[in-house]
Amino acid sequence: MIYKNKKPIFLFLIPAFLFMAVFLYYPFLQNIINSFMKIRNLGGSARGLNDPIYKNYLKILTDENVCMALKNTVIMIVVTLIGQVGIAIVLAMLVDNIHRGASFFRIVYFFPIVISATALGVLFNLIFQYDGGMLSQLVGAKVNWKELYPLTVMMTPVTWQYVGFYFIILVTGLNNIPQELYESAAIDGATRWQRIRYISWPMIHNVVCTCAILAVTGALKVFDLPWVMFPNGAPLGKTWLTGTYMYYKTMQSPDIDYSSALALIIVILGVMLSKVVNRIFKERDY
């Protein structure tokens, strides 16, 4: 009778729905409206509609910084899928096949994710520092890494930080595979590689799909670490990402209606790319 009566369920869902309506749906709808208005400063009132109303979206098509941000974000997505999810898969497979020290490696690989992004940004700034940085000392010469390889410098700590996040998700998926499958395969003479290829990989396919979607959407909105290392898109705007450029147009060079349009584009790209990744890594039933 409890499960047949659905009225209490809706009663308990109301607080959560109200919370999402106030802090998620209303700001999102207001952001769409703002993208068609004239709003210069954060917190300022609108001065009517743009002329034409779609002015900000036309500006996005001709803004060189947006093109740079989109290009760098695409590179970030590829690096995220290969560098974060790819490395996490390899590490998870390796750790799953050892018995001694598995807990140690789980802690070590997960540790970077608990460090503040600001602290990591400062740490890697010291590593890539032109004068007296760790890398410059190792090569024995003063190399301006940020000027020569800005994207590599920016994406290295981002990749390093989030490998542990996907590693934990994948290890959890591997741990949920029944050991009887491995034992049966071993009895039938399957090698360790064959057990990974024909048991482990198919059984975590759906987990990998989830990690890929998280990686793509996360790459679109990554902000904190790149901003600490390259504020204002330095050098020469070569390191803009969609998230950092939107923040710049909101806080550093206030253009609220334009940044609202950028935010909407980021959301649309996130939904579209999630659909594409979900189609590529289509979940399967086993």
How far apart (Å, rounded) are the C-alpha atoms in residues 107 and 91?
Answer: 13
Other Cβ atoms closer than 10 A to 167: 26
Other Cβ atoms closer than 10 A to 37: 17
- CATH number corresponding to 63-280: 1.10.3720.10
Residue 49 structure tokens: 């509609």
First to last CA, the chain: 34
Quote the radius of gyration of the chain (alpha carbons, Å). 23
How far apart (Å, rounded) are the C-alpha atoms in residues 199 and 210?
Answer: 19
Q: Please report the pLDDT score of residue 87 as a whole number.
A: 93
Taking the domains of the chain in order of start, what are their residue ranges?
63-280
One digit per residue, pLDDT tens: the chain, 286 residues?
556 777 778 888 899 999 999 999 999 999 999 999 888 888 777 888 888 888 999 999 999 999 999 999 999 999 999 999 999 999 998 888 887 888 888 888 888 888 888 889 889 988 988 877 888 888 888 888 888 889 999 999 999 989 999 999 999 888 888 888 888 888 888 888 888 888 888 888 889 988 998 998 888 888 888 999 898 888 878 899 999 999 999 888 888 999 999 999 999 988 888 888 888 877 666 5
Other Cβ atoms closer than 10 A to 158: 26
How far apart (Å, rounded) are the C-alpha atoms in residues 104 and 110?
Answer: 10
Q: Please report the pLDDT score of residue 285 as a whole number.
A: 64
Asked if residues 263 and 243 have their Cβ atoms less than 8 Å apart, the reply is no
How far apart (Å, rounded) are the C-alpha atoms in residues 185 and 194?
Answer: 9
DSSP one-letter code for 44? P
How far apart (Å, rounded) are the C-alpha atoms in residues 219 and 126?
Answer: 24
Q: pTM for this one? A: 0.85
How far apart (Å, rounded) are the C-alpha atoms in residues 226 and 118?
Answer: 9
How far apart (Å, rounded) are the C-alpha atoms in residues 10 and 15?
Answer: 10
Q: Please report the pLDDT score of residue 2 as a whole number.
A: 57
